[in-house]
Amino acid sequence: MIKYLPQSPEDEDRMVEAAYQDVLQSYLASNHRKKVEIIERAYRFAKEAHKGVRRRSGEPYILHPIAVAKIVISELGLGSTSICAAFLHDVIEDTEYTREDIENNFGKKIADIVDGLTKISGGIFGDKASLQAENFRKLLLSMSTDIRVVLIKMADRLHNMRTLGSMRPEKQYKIAGETLYVYAPLAHRLGLFKIKQELEDLAFKYEHPQKYIDIKEKLSESADHREEMVEKFVKPVREKLDAAGFKYEIKARVKSAYSIFKKMETKKIPFEEIYDVYAVRVIFDNDDDSQEKIRCWQIYTFFTDGHRVHPDRLRDWTSIPKANGYRALHLTAMGPEGKWIEVQIRSRKMDEIAELGYAAHWKYKTGVHEDETELDSWMNTIKDILANPEPNAIDFLDTIKLNLFSSEIYVFTPKGDLITLPSGSTVLDLAFAIHSEVGTHCIAGKINHKLVPLSHRLESGDQVEVITSNTQKPQNEWLDYCHSARARNRLRAILKKDHKLLVERGEQIFNEFMTREAIVPSNELISKILAAHHITSKQDLFAMLANDEINLSPKELHELNTTRRSLMKKLLRNPFSTKKKSDPTKKEPINRKEIYVLHPDAKTPNYRFDTCCSPIPGDDVLGFVDDDENVVLHKVSCDNAMKLKSAYGSRLVATKWGGAAPKFLATISVDGIDRHGILEEIISTMSQKLGINVRGLNIAAKQEVFHCEITVQIDNVETVDRICDTLKKIKGITFAKRIS
């Protein structure tokens, strides 16, 4: 935990004043109109309001608003209104000043932004699921009225992440989790590439500290060699650019630690096998917008003249920008030592928009900007979701996330209209994108005169005709075919409405049946019926009755009504209710503020695993405390853990492994070149050289290549790493990685 070293009041005041002057100098160096007087007043007002207050690290609180203001001007490029709002963003919540005080001193516009920031000031997430969803709705609603609210919120979150070291471990997990789950995707969707990358790297640093250090060290070790390779790669291109009279700069870009980690995890490959660690960005000055695209392609030819280009890695976002406004021309060319190097070609304007997102659009806006339609389209989808919110916070966040962090595909209607959809979208997604009625009555699609089902995944460039029928009605399984937030949300709203009518009809059937049998439908009887038929709610029972999916016999009802013993009271459980019976003796509440020591060697371990992931001692894990005060373990990178970190931060507990671990089962995937005796060598290495108990082996060879999965009994993650390292030393084995 990072601690602030106390200083004298005079030294502190000088430090605070120097930080403010740094903000002011950044503003004066920008292209904005110089409204220094109002910025000065906002700073003095905030400084007085927060006087005597300190952050958890011990430093004066005013340093936080100053840091947020610095990000707002230096990294987002916003102007005086946003700088003032950044200085004042915590004043209403944390001091006795009100919105009226802000408006009287600084005007309605600044007051509106500060008020919007105050409404979401507790972070997107509180302790209760309903509050979390509500706070997120407030954030999105404020974004639809003035996008500066969410941009300043991004700056606030970025500074909190930069100073996360002063927080307790369980708070670090919570804040890092919600950052990865919502803030980074939101930054991506708004085109804030630099901020998105830093948020991801900082979250990764606190969730997987050792893996972060390992990747950073490997990047540092290869830095000199990488620069030498890149310079050799771009030398002939520089000569051509100079000869053609371009004003330009070439930057070597390094893939972020988090994106390297994600690729290593997804593809199950080591750091050394990630080929796109290397990247080059060419940024050229351009005064004529009409020549911008032509110049991108001209530079493209400079690379193709002297290098072999990867045929499947050309990406043209100059003609059709990404939905977040990103424009560039990408190619991948063969560099020295047979390394593929990604090249990004951008004009200066493209580069600023790529780094600053929609914040940079205002700088270039003349009349109606062509890219504004994308932002408007996305905001309409957000408003659509807000109009029919999910009752469950996690479902709501998932629905939003479909729109936040998806790649785009571009498809065409039969008339040639272009429609942008998230990658993975189906015919049904397209139908709902056209109109709700088209989605409701969609029965199939037609691509190149060939009929395809609703679930058919579309590809960029498809020209799709949606076929409808008035007799078609939405089905529950359609939710599996929806990959866009718009389609999923509208379909849920329709199904919800239909379900309500079914429930009303089923309730009528149920009451008529009870009246005929002269039975009083008590709550106890209904609970017994639900338990007997394994139904979770009364509404589901009524809906099944209306659909003829269940029959209630008079004999069964009379038996249930007369028995004294309730069969079961099976109520809906929250994500933390333990699957074991509760201990009849009340357990002591677990102290969430202290690190919880896990004892795998105990007769009864003081934790349990959830079914979604299989951590073993040594894995990065965190604990969730369920309703019965049991600690449930997840891998830090588990998808379910990611959601729960975001939504139930107050139930987190930081953990560490203690004691000697018993044996666990783990599966290792091995690939290599097949040869006589390699299986025997693998087995002898495992059992004799390493002394590992092999519990299962599955091997298959195709032509000269083999794939093998070995299930072993081990005690911790270090043992697995040792097995993988040893196997890779066997001649012919190219890959060995734990997969479960």
Query: Which pLDDT score is estimated for 400?
Result: 60
- DSSP H or E stretch at residue 697: strand 693-702
Instruction: Indicate the helix (H) or strand (E) that contains 263.
Output: helix 257-267
Least confident of 268-272, 275-279, 450-454, 538-542: 275-279
Closest residue by Cα to residue 303 from 240, 380, 355: 240
pLDDT score of 278 more than 90: no
Task: Give the pLDDT confidence of 727-740 residue by residue, as tens digits.
Answer: 888 888 888 888 87
**Percent of the chain whose predicted confidence (pLDDT) is above 70:** 81
Q: 126 falls in which pLDDT band (50, 70, 90)?
A: very low
* Confidence at residue 568, expressed as pLDDT on a 0 to 100 scale: 33
Average pLDDT of the segment spanning 474-492: 82
Q: Is the pLDDT of residue 67 over 90?
A: yes
Closest to 9 measured CA to CA, from 52, 65, 62: 52
Q: Give the model's pLDDT for residue 122.
A: 46
Residue 565 has what pLDDT? 36
Sign of CA dihedral 65, 67, 70, 76: negative
Over residues 563-577, the pLDDT tens digits come to: 433 333 333 344 444
**Higher pLDDT among residues 64 and 631, named by residue:** 64
Which pLDDT value is given to residue 276? 67
| Buried/exposed 584-613: b ≥16 CB within 10 Å, e otherwise | eeeeeebebeeebebebeeeebebeebeeb
Residues shown for the chain:
740
183-205 pLDDT, tens digit per residue, is 888 888 777 888 999 999 999 99
Q: Which of 22, 40, 94, 231 is catalytic?
A: 94
Residue 388 has what pLDDT? 55
Here the tokens at position 697 are 């082996």
Q: Clarify whether 371 is annotated catalytic.
A: no
pLDDT-based confidence at 484, cuts 50/70/90?
confident
First to last CA, the chain: 33
- pLDDT of amino acid 68: 94
Residue with tokens 């405390």: 625
Helix, strand, coil % in the chain, rounded to nearest 5:
50, 15, 35
- Three-state DSSP at 723 gives helix
For 494-518, what is the mean pLDDT?
78
Looking at mean pLDDT, say which of 65-79, 347-361, 518-532 comes out highest: 65-79
Q: Is 304 helix (H, G, I), strand (E, B) or coil?
A: helix
Half-sphere exposure (Cβ direction) of 597: Cα atoms closer than 13 Å: 7
Highest-confidence segment of 22-36, 487-501, 655-669: 22-36
- Residues 440, 48: Cα–Cα separation, whole Å: 58
Give the residue, 534 or 71, on which the prediction is more confident: 71
* 99-112 pLDDT, tens digit each: 899 999 999 989 98
Selecting among 13, 17, 48, 93, the annotated active-site residue is 93
pLDDT (average), residues 657-685: 82
Q: What SS3 state is found at 571? A: coil
Q: Structure tokens of 158? A: 């970025």
Distances in Å between the alpha carbon of 585 and those of 161, 405, 499, 624, 628?
A: 41, 46, 42, 21, 10
Rg (the chain; Cα; Å):
30
Residues 6+ apart with CB under 8 A from 89: 65, 68, 114, 117, 118, 121, 152, 156
Above 80 in pLDDT, residue 519?
A: no
pLDDT at 505: 80
Weakest-pLDDT range from 149-158, 433-442, 493-502: 493-502
Residue matched to tokens 């659909």: 547
pLDDT value at 375 more than 90? no
Q: How confident is the model at residue 281 (pLDDT cuts 50, 70, 90)?
A: very high
CB atoms within 10 A of CB 493: 15
pLDDT the model gives residue 368? 40
Beta strands in 172-322 (DSSP E): 248-254, 278-284, 315-316
Residues in Cβ contact with 572 at an 8 Å cutoff, skipping those fewer than 6 apart: 536, 537
Q: Assign 245 a pLDDT band (cuts: 50, 70, 90).
A: very high
Nearest Cα to 41, choosing from 1, 87, 78? Answer: 87
Quick: pLDDT tens for 203-216: 999 988 888 999 99
pLDDT at residue 33, as a whole number = 79
What is residue 346's DSSP assignment? E
Amino acid at 88: L
d(CA 158, CA 206): 14
Lowest model confidence (mean pLDDT) among 154-163, 546-555, 628-637, 707-716: 546-555
Find the range with the poorest average confidence among 23-37, 273-287, 292-306, 397-411. Answer: 397-411
93 among known catalytic residues:
yes
Q: What is the mean pLDDT of residues 130-148?
A: 59
**Mean pLDDT of all residues belonging to the chain:** 79
Judged against a pLDDT cut of 80, whether residue 546 lies above it is answered with: no
d(CA 163, CA 66): 14
Cβ neighbours for 148, distance < 8 A, ≥ 6 positions apart: 78, 81, 82, 85, 113
Beta strands in 207-309 (DSSP E): 248-254, 278-284
Contact 133, 396 (CB under 8 A): yes
Q: Look at residue 320 and tell me whether its pLDDT is greater than 50.
A: yes
The pLDDT of residue 570 is 35
pLDDT at 151: 85
pLDDT at 521 (0 to 100): 75
**Cβ neighbours, 10 Å, residue 159:** 20
364-401 as b/e, with b when 16 or more CB fall inside 10 Å? Answer: eeeeeeebeebbeebeebbebbbeebbeebbebbebbb
Q: Which two tokens stand for residue 715?
A: 């005690």
Integer Cα distance of 84 and 109 in angstroms: 11
Work out the percent of the chain whose per-residue pLDDT is above 90: 19
Q: Let me know if 210 is exposed, middle or buried by CB neighbors in 10 A (0-12, 13-18, 19+).
A: exposed
Q: Which residue has the higher pLDDT, 5 or 291?
A: 291
